[in-house]
Amino acid sequence: MELFSSGINTVRKGGPDPNLLDDDRVLLNLLSIEERFLPQCSYFKYVQKDIEPFMRRMVATWMLEVCEEQKCEEVFPLAMNYLDRFLALVPIRKCNLQLLGAVCMFLASKLKETYPLSTAKLCIYSENSIKPQDLLEWELTVLEKLKWNLAAVTPHDFIEHIMKQLPLPSNKLPLIRKHTQTFIALCSTDFNFAMYPPLMIATASVGAAICGLQLDDGELTLYVDNLAKIINTEVDCLKRCKDQIETLLLSNLRQVRQ
């Protein structure tokens, strides 16, 4: 999987708001509600009978490809949040999994994008195996089951807050941000990360991105220690999560080469 494209996007998007980044209450509010939007259970054990983890990975990979092509990187983790929360509540047949993924992208794009993904475009991406009417009908079902709680906290919400508090070189910030977004997307494709708090994923993804820089051991230790302090967790716990993300990246690269 390639990094998200940095090509020219004709749709203008708002940048980080310094007033929000400078107010600690914003970060505290995100922390206070992030666990409300996690799946209620490991649904492959307790809810789903017809779908398996590899099927989730397949539909997640398809969803990621759609979001990458449409340059809406923040839509993907939010859509996966909807998908996991729905699957933790409602058993479905495997033939409806791609339809559910399309509906989740449809809903997430309405919250995150200036111009949401259209039903026609999503049907085309499914090679017309999905019908517009099915999308609209399932949209209402998903909204009902999620109780219209769509403003979920995702790892993307923490990226700027984390980076702001680290002594990072300004010339490397865009590259770190892009790599962090890629690591977050990778985590969203893997069910092992589905029940991790968004802040943990965001922090470990920033750490994994920083590890890609040419830093000496002293600087790297400083960054990891600072990240652990930001999220008030043990350094070893953060390192384990970061190592899992890097292992996942290597696994994906091997699959691409094969």
Any idea where the domains of the chain sit in the sequence?
Answer: 38-145, 156-257
Record: fold of 38-145? Cyclin A; domain 1 (1.10.472)
What's the pTM? 0.84
pLDDT at residue 12, rounded to an integer? 63
Sequential pLDDT tens for the chain (258 residues): 545 444 444 556 666 666 667 667 877 888 888 888 899 889 998 999 999 999 999 999 999 999 999 998 889 999 999 999 999 999 999 999 999 999 999 999 999 998 899 999 999 999 999 999 999 999 999 999 999 999 999 999 988 888 887 888 888 888 888 989 998 998 999 898 888 889 888 888 888 888 776 554 556 666 667 777 776 777 777 777 777 777 776 666 555 444
pLDDT at residue 6, rounded to an integer? 45
Q: What distance in Å separates the CA atoms of residue 126 and residue 88, rounded to the nearest whole number?
A: 24
Q: 116, 111, 87: which is closest to 99 by C-alpha? A: 87
pLDDT at residue 229, rounded to an integer? 76
pLDDT at residue 122, rounded to an integer? 94
pLDDT at residue 254, rounded to an integer? 57
Q: What distance in Å separates the CA atoms of residue 42 and residue 195, rounded to the nearest whole number?
A: 8
Q: What distance in Å separates the CA atoms of residue 77 and residue 70, rounded to the nearest whole number?
A: 14
pLDDT at residue 151, rounded to an integer? 92
Helices (H), the chain: 18-21, 24-33, 43-46, 53-69, 75-87, 97-112, 119-125, 132-145, 156-164, 173-189, 198-211, 217-230, 235-257
Please tell us whether the domain made up of 156-257 is placed in CATH 3.40.50.720: no
Could you check whether 38-145 and 156-257 share the same CATH topology? yes
